[in-house]
């Protein structure tokens, strides 16, 4: 069985492949503009404590996301 979790649950240095994005069309389109879409591999490079933003690497670009946004992105953990 695949290990699918929300992006905000990945730890620093872990990688995952985006499986789905939970949200409306505008929300999904904004993430696509940032390079975050199903099938793309992401890596968590920095995660702040206490609900702060997380920094991910996607397509050799760093993107900061709020925890609320990251919690709506589901990824398959890549080991």
Give me the pLDDT at residue 1, please. 59
Give me the pLDDT at residue 5, please. 96
Give me the pLDDT at residue 72, please. 97
| Calpha distance 32→28 (Å, rounded) | 6
Cross-strand pairs, 4: 76
pTM of the model: 0.90
Q: Give tens-digit pLDDT for 5-44.
A: 999 999 999 999 999 999 999 999 999 999 999 999 999 9
Contacts of the segment 17-26: beta carbons below 8 A, 24+ positions apart? 17/41, 17/42, 17/75, 17/76, 17/78, 18/42, 18/73, 18/74, 18/75, 19/74, 19/75, 19/76, 20/73, 20/74, 21/72, 21/73, 21/74, 22/72, 22/73, 22/74, 23/72
């Amino acid at each position: 069985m695949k290990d699918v979790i929300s992006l905000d649950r990945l730890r620093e240095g872990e990688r995952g492949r985006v499986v789905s994005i939970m949200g409306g069309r505008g929300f999904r389109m904004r993430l696509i503009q940032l390079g975050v879409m199903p099938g793309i591999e992401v890596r968590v490079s920095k995660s702040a404590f206490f609900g702060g933003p997380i920094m991910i690497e996607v397509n050799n670009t760093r993107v900061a996301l709020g925890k609320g946004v990251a919690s709506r992105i589901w990824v398959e953990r890549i080991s």
